[in-house]
Amino acid sequence: MDHHLNPIPRLFFLNSAENTFRKCIACERDLYLGDCDYVIEKAIRRFPEIDASEVIFEYAICTDCAGKARQKLSEESRQRIDELLHSEKVKENSLSILAQATLQNGDATGICMLTGNAIDDCEEYQIYAYCRGTSLSLNSNAFMLSGKAMEIIAELLSEETKDELDRFRDTFFGLPPELEDIINSRDLIML
């Protein structure tokens, strides 16, 4: 059994920093202590014509807080997301995703888990990594969902769940109203 821990891929580092998030966005616990798993979620928009990209939002949340937040989503929405993530389409992509992860120390962000599209073909995408301390969690791979995949998932969400995600966004991002369209709460899926 191989207990080698993969480092967190650079794509998850904070802009122009040599490290990742140190605090849970909700309970502010110190994630570097390594006493809990946490998820880093980051949404990126690319501008291929000018070879640039911008971070739309990024945060880390410990699995305790993510679990609590997820409990607030409607049962129906949670079920639909689960079904989608266990669908044939995702299974079909899983071989190429696993192959990539094996070659790249657990970094499978190059291919959308749901649509199979390459990251270079996505104008918008979100990346996820389950981490512990300063490494990826044991046996977990960083993965990517394209903008198209986020649209597919958003269509599955109930009104109740969309309201709950709005509350999450308002609580933790505290955005002025004119910026609300930039961080679309439906993009915060909390897988």
Dihedral angle over CA of 117, 93, 73, 68, nearest 10: -110
The least distance separating Zn ion from the CB of residue 120, rounded to whole angstroms, comes to: 34
**How many residues line the site for Zn ion (CB under 5 A)?**
5
Nearer to Zn ion, 26 or 112 (CB): 26
In sequence order, which residues have a C-beta less than 8 Å from that of residue 93 and are 6 or more positions away?
111, 112, 113, 114, 115, 116
Find the helix packing angle between 75-85 and 147-154, rounded to 10°: 140
The answer to whether the CB of 20 falls within 8 A of the CB of 12 is yes
Candidate ranges 5-13, 19-27, 92-100, 179-187; the one touching Zn ion (CB under 5 A): 19-27
Q: Is 149 in the site for Zn ion (CB under 5 A)?
A: no
The least distance separating Zn ion from the CB of residue 24, rounded to whole angstroms, comes to: 3
Nearer to Zn ion, 13 or 172 (CB): 172
Q: Is 24 in the site for Zn ion (CB under 5 A)?
A: yes
User: Alpha-carbon Rg of the chain, whole angstroms?
Assistant: 16
The least distance separating Zn ion from the CB of residue 187, rounded to whole angstroms, comes to: 20
The least distance separating Zn ion from the CB of residue 159, rounded to whole angstroms, comes to: 27
Q: Residues 56 to 95: which contact Zn ion by CB under 5 A?
A: 62, 65
Cβ atoms within 10 Å, residue 49: 6
CA dist., res. 166 & res. 184, Å (int): 8
Nearer to Zn ion, 27 or 33 (CB): 27
The least distance separating Zn ion from the CB of residue 71, rounded to whole angstroms, comes to: 14
Question: Can you read off the two tokens belonging to residue 31?
Answer: 């994630």
Q: Is 26 in the site for Zn ion (CB under 5 A)?
A: yes
The answer to whether the CB of 27 falls within 8 A of the CB of 62 is yes
Letters for 27-46 (x = contact with Zn ion by CB under 5 A, - = none) are: x-------------------
Residues lying near Zn ion in the complex (CB under 5 A) are found at: 24, 26-27, 62, 65
